[in-house]
Amino acid sequence: MESMAMNDHFWKNKKVFLTGHTGFKGSWCVLWLKSLGADITGYSLEPPTRPSLFESARVDEGIRSVIGDIRDFQYLKKCLGETAPDIVIHMAAQPLVRKSYQDPVGTYATNVLGTVHLLEAVRQGTGDPVVINITTDKCYENKELDRGYRENEPLGGADPYSSSKACSEIATSAYRDSYFRSKDGRARGVALATCRAGNVIGGGDWAEDRLVPDIVRALMDGREVIIRNPNSVRPWQHVLDPLNGYFTLIEKLFENRSQYAEAWNFGPDEDAAKPVSWIVDQLFMFWGKKSFWKKDQNDNPHEANLLKLNCSKAKSRLGWRPKLGLEEALRWTAEWFKAYAGGGDMRQFSESQIRKFMEAGYVPAKTGESKVLKEAHVSCS
C-alpha cells in the first residue's frame, strides 16, 4: 500500500496547544509544527534535564512558551482558554519506569490526574478542538507475548508508570463516551483520540535511566556503559516516526471526528524489535568506537523483557507507515549527538533532520541495513 503523506498546508496558522513542550518528544513536535507554520502555545514544567533539546535547539523561539504544571487545574484551564486552540496535543507526563517506583504518588498525580485536568479544561472550554492524548505501549497488560498488542486488548501495568498510563487511557475513554460522543456514537464537537508508541530514540534525549542517553553520556565521557537488561526486547523507533503518525491522525480527525476518535498504535516494523545489547553495539559502531559495556549486577526494579505493538490499524486506516529503519534511526541519533558534541547549531541541525525525513522515504532493507530511497513516499512491508 502506498504510504500517505502529511498535508503540510493543513498546519499553517492552526492554533496548537501542546503540553509537555519542554520534553524530548515535545521539543521535536514544536520544531516540526513550527516549520509547517503552526501557531503554538506550549504548557509545561521547566526542561526536565540539563542539557536538554529544548534549550540546545532554542525550541521556545517563535512560540508562546508557558511554564506551568498540569496538576494546577485553574492555571491550565486559564491558559487553554486564552489559546482557544484548534488542536490539543497532550504529552506532559512523568515518563520513566524507574522514577515511578521512587515516586508513585507524583507519577499518578501527573499521568492520571493531569490527564483529567486537561480533558476537564477542554470540556469546560468554549471551542471544539481535536485532542490527542499521547500515552505509551506500556499501557497494555503485558503477558510477554511474542506478537504485537492490538488496540482492543486489555490495559494494565505491573509498575506505577505503566499502570498510570493505562489509567490515563481509561480516563480518556470515559471522557470521550461521557462528554464528547452522542448517544448514536458520533463525535460531538470535540474529537478525542489516544496514541500509543514504543521506545523512541533520537537526538536531544538526555533523560536519566534511559538507554540511549546513558550510552551517549558514556561515549562522551570515554567510559563503559552499564546495562540493566541487555536481553530485553523493545520496539525501537526514531521520534519523528510516531510524530508523523500523530500528525496524520490529527488531520484525519479534522476530516471525520467520529471515525478516528479512538486508540491508535504507532510502532516500528517487526525487524525493529531488538534487544538492548544490540542497540548498544550499533550506537558504538555509528560513533566510531568499539562497543564497551557490562551488565548491571545490582538488584533493579522489574521491567518487561518483551513488548511489541501491532500497528496494522494505523497502516490500513490512516495510511501511515514508519519511514526510518532501525539502523538509520540509530545513525541519525548518533549524528545529532556528535554534532552537539562538536558545538553545532542544534536548532538548524534538528530542522535539517526534519526536512530530510519529510522529503525522503525510508524502508528497512532485507539485509538488515536501511537505505534512503529517492521517492518521496514508499510503502513498508
CA distance 56 to 204: 8
**pLDDT single digits (tens) 232-265:** 877 789 999 999 999 999 999 999 988 999 999 9
Residues of the chain with pLDDT under 70: 1-6, 182-188, 297-305, 360-381
Name 178's Cβ contacts closer than 8 Å, sequence gap at least 6. Answer: none
pLDDT of residue 41: 98
Average pLDDT, the chain: 88
Single-letter amino acid, residue 301: P
Query: What confidence score (pLDDT) does residue 186 get?
Result: 54
115-143: burial string, b at 16+ Cβ within 10 Å, e else:
bbbbbbbbeebeeebbbbbbbbbbbbebe
Q: What is the pTM of this model?
A: 0.90
Q: What is the pLDDT of residue 225?
A: 86
In contact, 192 and 133? CB cutoff 8 Å: yes
The structural domains of the chain, ordered by start, are 11-362 (3.40.50.720)
CA 66 to chain centre: 20
pLDDT of residue 185: 52
Residue appearing with cell numbers 506500556: 138
Return the pLDDT at 246: 98
Instruction: Give me the pLDDT at residue 198, please.
Output: 81
Dig out the grid coordinates for 179 from the structure: 462528554
What pLDDT shows up at residue 263? 98
- Cis (ω within 30 of 0) for the bond into 160? no
pLDDT of the residue at 159:
94
Phi first, then psi: give them for residue 305, nearest 5 degrees.
-90, -25
pLDDT digits (tens, 9 = 90+) for 200-232: 999 999 998 788 999 999 899 888 888 877 888
Q: Under DSSP, is residue 89 helix (H, G, I), strand (E, B) or coil? A: strand
**Per-residue model confidence (pLDDT) at position 269:** 85
Residue position matching grid coordinates 540509530: 330
The residue type of 25 is: K
Alpha-carbon distances of 368 from 74, 274, 323, 371, rounded to whole Å: 51, 12, 15, 10
Residue 304 is predicted with a pLDDT of 58
